[in-house]
Structure formats: C-alpha cells, structure tokens
Amino acid sequence: MKVSHGIGAVEMVAALEQAGLRSTRPRSAIIDQIAEWATKGKDFSSEELWHATQARAPWIGRATVFRTVELLTALNFLDRITFADGSERYHP
C-alpha cells in the first residue's frame, strides 16, 4: 500500500495492524508526523523526522525513528530517494 497525499495517520496505522504489526505509541507518533508532511507533499530525511518527532514525543529514541522509516519503506509506504553523495530522503 502506498501513502498518498490524502492518506492519514489512521489509515497508516490500520494498514500496519492489518499487516500483523503492532501499533505502538512511538510508531503512532512517527506516523502522525509523516501523515502531516504527506498532506504537504514534503520529502524528509530520517534525521529531520527524528527532530520533528522529538518536539512531539521526546521519549522516542533516534533508533526507533530510523527503524520505523525502514519498516514503512519496506512496506511501500515511503519512497526512498538516494542521492549521489549517499544521502537519503523519503517521500510519502
């Protein structure tokens, strides 16, 4: 399933649960931020997502954000854009 500009956090969490994955508080907070950016068509790096998530939920670790981005990418929720310098950005 692909995240479009119209899909929200509720739909993303439901899709994760349908795939047999738990909907944890950290994942929900991360998904909320991604859904907000998706409505704006904003690309982001994992680091940017971590900083934005810290403003909402400072108890979420950096590794949790990075693992969740990898999970959502593997499930085709996010497109990974890799640049020549090796940096990566994600597009919802």
What does the pLDDT read at residue 1? Answer: 40
What does the pLDDT read at residue 7? Answer: 63
pLDDT at 6 over 70: no
Going by DSSP bridges, is the β-strand pair 79-82/88-91 parallel, antiparallel, or unpaired?
antiparallel
pTM of the predicted protein model: 0.84
Which residue type sits at 41? G
Residues 91, 77: contact at Cβ < 8 Å?
no
Spell out where the chain has E strands: 79-82, 88-91
Task: Tell me the average pLDDT of the chain.
Answer: 88
User: Domains of the chain (ranges plus CATH)?
Assistant: 9-91 (1.10.10.10)
What does the pLDDT read at residue 5? Answer: 44
